[in-house]
Structure 1
Amino acid sequence: MFIKGRDKAKPVLLFLHGGPGLPTYWLTSKYPTGLEDYFTVCYWETRGTGLSYNSEVPPKTVTWEQLISDTIEVSNYLRKRFGQEKIYLMGHSGGSFLGIQVAARAPELYNAYIGVAQMSRQFESEKLAYKYMIEQYTKVRNIRMVQKLEKFPIPEMNAVPKAYRNLRDEAMHRLGIGTMHNMKSVITGVFFTSFQSREYTLSEKINLWRGKNSSQYQKMWDEMMETDLTKIVQKLNIPVYFFEGIHDYTCNYTLTKEYFEKLQAQMKGFYTFTNSAHSPIFEESEKVKEILEKDVLAGATNLADKI
Structure 2
Amino acid sequence: MKPLLALLALATGAIAQTPPAAEPAYATVRPMIAEQQRLVAPHAIEIGEMVELGGLKQWVTIRGADRANPVLIYVHGGPGAAESGRSWPYQRGWEDFFTVVQWDQRGTAKTLRHGGEAANKAQLTRARMAQDLVELMALVRERLGQQRVVLLGHSWGNVIGMDAAMSRPDWVSAYVGVGPLMNLQANERAQYEMLLAEARKRQDATALAELEAIAPYPGDGDIPFAKVNVARKWVQAYGGLAAYRDNANFFYRAARLSPHYEFEDRLAIDQGGQLSVPALLPDMKRADHTQIRATRFPVLMFLGRHDLTTPASVIEPWLAQLKAPVKKIVWFEHSAHLAPHEEPGRFLVSLVEQVRPLALHSR
Pairing partner for 2:333 from 257, 270, 274: 274
Counterpart residue identity of residue 277, structure 2: Y
Pairing partner for 1:151 from 213, 216, 222: 213
| Post-superposition offset of 1:285 | 2.5
Q: Does 1:239 align with 2:298?
A: yes
Counterpart residue identity of residue 126, structure 1: E
Pairing partner for 2:121 from 46, 49, 59: 59
| Post-superposition offset of 1:48 | 1.4
User: Which SS does the other structure have where 1:43 is aligned?
Assistant: strand
| Post-superposition offset of 1:252 | 1.1
Q: How does 1:138-287 map to 2 (within 5 A)?
A: 138-153=200-215, 154-178=217-241, 180-186=242-248, 188-214=249-275, 216-231=276-291, 233-287=292-346
Separation in 2, partners of 1:266, 1:110 = 12
Q: 1:33 to 1:264 in 2, by over 3 A?
A: farther
Q: Does 1:94 align with 2:156?
A: yes
Separation in 2, partners of 1:172, 1:95 = 20
User: Which SS does the other structure have where 2:180 is aligned?
Assistant: coil
Separation in 2, partners of 1:68, 1:254 = 26
Q: Which region of structure 1 is more displaced relative to structure 2, 62-71 or 119-128? A: 119-128
Are 1:247 and 1:274, in contact at CA under 8 Å, matched by a contact in 2? yes
| Post-superposition offset of 1:41 | 0.5
**Fraction of identical pairs, as percent:** 26
User: Which SS does the other structure have where 2:77 is aligned?
Assistant: coil
Are 2:190 and 2:313, in contact at CA under 8 Å, matched by a contact in 1? no
Counterpart residue identity of residue 67, structure 1: M
User: Which SS does the other structure have where 2:182 is aligned?
Assistant: coil
TM-score scaled by structure 1?
A: 0.88
User: Which SS does the other structure have where 2:152 is aligned?
Assistant: strand
Are 1:128 and 1:252, in contact at CA under 8 Å, matched by a contact in 2? yes
Separation in 2, partners of 1:195, 1:292 = 26
Q: 1:31 to 1:174 in 2, by over 3 A?
A: farther
Q: Which region of structure 1 is more displaced relative to structure 2, 67-76 or 220-229? A: 220-229
| Post-superposition offset of 1:245 | 1.1
Aligned counterpart, 1:5: 64
Aligned counterpart, 1:130: 192
Counterpart residue identity of residue 319, structure 2: F
**Contiguous gaps of at least 5 residues in structure 1:** 301-307
Q: 1:204 to 1:145 in 2, by over 3 A?
A: same
Q: 1:284 to 1:223 in 2, by over 3 A?
A: same
RMSD over aligned Cα atoms:
2.1
| Post-superposition offset of 1:246 | 1.6
Aligned counterpart, 2:29: none
Counterpart residue identity of residue 151, structure 2: L
Aligned counterpart, 2:41: none
Q: 1:2 to 1:168 in 2, by over 3 A?
A: farther
Counterpart residue identity of residue 296, structure 1: V
Separation in 2, partners of 1:104, 1:140 = 42
Q: 1:295 to 1:200 in 2, by over 3 A?
A: same
| Post-superposition offset of 1:277 | 1.0
Counterpart residue identity of residue 261, structure 2: Y
Q: Does 1:39 align with 2:77?
A: no
Are 1:33 and 1:282, in contact at CA under 8 Å, matched by a contact in 2? no
Largest Rg, 1 or 2:
2
Q: Which region of structure 1 is more displaced relative to structure 2, 89-98 or 219-228? A: 219-228
Q: 1:196 to 1:290 in 2, by over 3 A?
A: closer
**Contiguous gaps of at least 5 residues in structure 2:** 1-59
Counterpart residue identity of residue 102, structure 1: A
Are 1:246 and 1:273, in contact at CA under 8 Å, matched by a contact in 2? yes
Deviation string, structure 1 residues 20-40 (Cα, Å, up to 9, x no partner) = 121123332345572212111
User: Which SS does the other structure have where 1:288 is aligned?
Assistant: helix
Aligned residues: 296
Q: 1:142 to 1:30 in 2, by over 3 A?
A: farther
Separation in 1, partners of 2:318, 2:90 = 29
